[in-house]
Amino acid sequence: MKKLLLFSLSIFGLLFIFNTSSHAQASSDFKVGGGIIYGSEVEAIGIQAGAKYGFTEEISGAADFAIFFPENYDWWELNANGHYHFLQEDNISVYGLAGLNYATMSFSADLGEFGTASASNSEIGLNLGGGAEFGLDFANLYTELKYILGNADQLALSAGLRFDI
């Protein structure tokens, strides 16, 4: 899984480095997209899909759904974050984020002749972190690093693409 994460981040990095013809594009207030995410507590990579809406030039809101792929259990989460863009130049935007996280973990095991056993747990946490968005010719490349405070403490690193709608 770590090799897949490193490979994916390398591809996104190369897209940014070699895209020297990027120009600032007319930006829509509403963007949708997805990408990959890695969580330190779940110790697995996952996929993420979400949307972002710009209320003003400095303030935007984002919501996303992420599902991780650990070996022995299921883990998914919903996030709702507010972004404050403190640096915006040409095709680069850097922002801080804060918001809420709802995570669900579930486990199921086959006990043979004794039947099956299952357990699940849900947690609510607080997201704190930051990110950056880079304008490409066809979309915006985003990267985010956030820490989720709560019973399921976790550092999450994500990267992906957002498209104007």
DSSP per residue, 46-92: EEEEEEEEESSSSEEEEEEEEEE--SSSEEEEEEEEEEEEEEEETTE
Is the pLDDT at 121 greater than 80? The verdict is yes
Domain with 33, as residue range(s), is 2-19+29-164
In this predicted structure, the answer to whether residue 22 has a pLDDT above a threshold of 60 is no
Phi, psi of 3 (to 5 degrees): -65, -40
Cβ-count burial 95-127 (b if 16+ within 10 Å, e if not): bebebbbebebeeeeeeeeeeeeeeeeebebeb
Question: CATH number, domain at 33?
Answer: 2.40.160.20
Number of folded domains that form the chain: 1
Residue 93, domain member (yes or no):
yes
In a domain, 134, yes or no: yes
pTM surpassing 0.85?
Answer: no
Q: Is 60 exceeded by the pLDDT of residue 61? A: yes
> What stretches of the chain show up as alpha helix (H) in DSSP?
2-18
Q: Does the residue 75 lie in any domain?
A: yes
Question: For residues 82 and 53, what is the distance between their CA atoms, to the nearest angstrom?
Answer: 10
- What average pLDDT does the chain have? 84
22 or 139, greater pLDDT: 139
* pLDDT mean over 11-35: 58
Cβ partners under 8 Å of residue 95, min gap 6: 60, 83, 84, 85, 86, 87, 130, 131, 132, 133
pLDDT of residue 119: 85
CA nearest to 46, candidates 124, 91, 103, 108: 103
